[in-house]
């Protein structure tokens, strides 16, 4: 495995030996089919097999910077520190985008790596210097497929809930909570159930207990009536 990873890393950026071009926006990336076969078969399935000389994959709806980070991961099994020269990748919002594209093209290793990174990046700093990135990340979660976004909500709520009292002193974060009432409820309750559209576990437990303690309803029919005081 390690030998294969080293071999893939050595091929990164080796344009003459590449056999696939990925076009995204105004950028193009030269890659190798053997790498995509091993790391991202989903992309390979998009190829037009009738083209024999050169293969082109168009990712018109994706962000070129995020695509670059994804392809780097396919070769190095790690997320680059920067893309497109100086674009930082170690921010909460960019990491959510990486998680999203890993979910879209079914790259579990990249998705897990992004989730692990996000657990650290979602921790608000005392000076709130990373808060804007966190707010942007929360908004980006909506773009992730329904099947995978719940994991991101669990990370977000678990990291932010302990800091909710002083986070709400920030006008931008307070405005976000007004906009996303279910996130507000999740942070107050310490569980991501509300923002994921699920009934709160505490709420459900209390509801079931209340039902158990309620008296059974009185049943009326043509053949019986509730017992009351006997007439004299």
Alpha carbon distances (Å) from 26 to 58, 63, 116, 186, 196: 11, 10, 31, 40, 36
DSSP code per residue over 62-105: S-HHHHHHHHHHHHHSS--SEETTTEE--SHHHHHHHHHHHHHT
Within 10 A of 229 (CB to CB), how many other CB atoms are there? 5
pLDDT digits (tens, 9 = 90+) for 89-119: 889 999 999 999 999 999 999 999 999 999 9
Query: pLDDT tens digits for 43-61?
Result: 988 886 655 556 889 999 9
Are 122 and 92 in contact, with CB atoms under 8 Å apart? yes
pLDDT score at 219: 45
Q: Which residues of the chain have pLDDT under 50?
A: 1-3, 218-227, 232
- Report the percentage of the chain scoring pLDDT > 90: 51
Query: Which residues in 33-44 are b (16+ Cβ under 10 Å) and which e?
Result: ebbbeebbeebb
- Is 3.30.710.10 the CATH number for 1-89? yes
So what's the pLDDT on residue 121? 94
pLDDT of residue 200: 54
Instruction: Identify whether the C-beta of residue 227 lies closer than 8 Å to the C-beta of residue 218.
Output: no
11: its two tokens:
């091929």
d(CA 124, CA 160): 7
- Note the pLDDT of residue 214: 61
């Amino acid at each position: 495995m390690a030998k294969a990873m080293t071999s893939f890393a050595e091929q990164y950026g080796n344009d003459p030996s590449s056999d696939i071009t990925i076009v995204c926006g105004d950028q193009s990336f030269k890659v190798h089919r053997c790498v995509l076969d091993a790391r991202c078969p989903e992309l390979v399935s998009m190829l037009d097999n009738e083209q024999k000389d050169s293969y082109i994959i168009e990712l018109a709806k994706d962000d070129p910077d995020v695509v670059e980070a994804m392809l780097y991961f396919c070769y190095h099994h790690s997320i680059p520190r920067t893309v497109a020269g100086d674009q930082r990748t170690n921010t909460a919002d960019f990491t959510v985008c990486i998680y999203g594209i890993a979910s879209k093209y079914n790259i579990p290793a990249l998705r897990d790596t992004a989730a692990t990174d996000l657990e650290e990046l979602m921790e608000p700093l005392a000076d709130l210097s990373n808060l804007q990135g966190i707010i942007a990340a929360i908004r980006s979660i909506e773009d992730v497929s329904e099947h995978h976004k719940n994991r991101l909500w669990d990370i977000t709520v678990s990291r932010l809930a302990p800091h909710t009292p002083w986070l709400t002193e920030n006008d931008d974060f307070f405005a976000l909570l007004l906009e996303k009432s279910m996130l507000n409820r999740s942070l107050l309750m310490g569980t991501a159930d509300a923002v994921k559209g699920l009934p709160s576990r505490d709420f459900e437990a209390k509801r079931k207990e209340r039902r158990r303690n309620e008296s059974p309803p009185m049943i009326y029919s043509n053949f019986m009536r509730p017992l009351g005081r006997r007439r004299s």
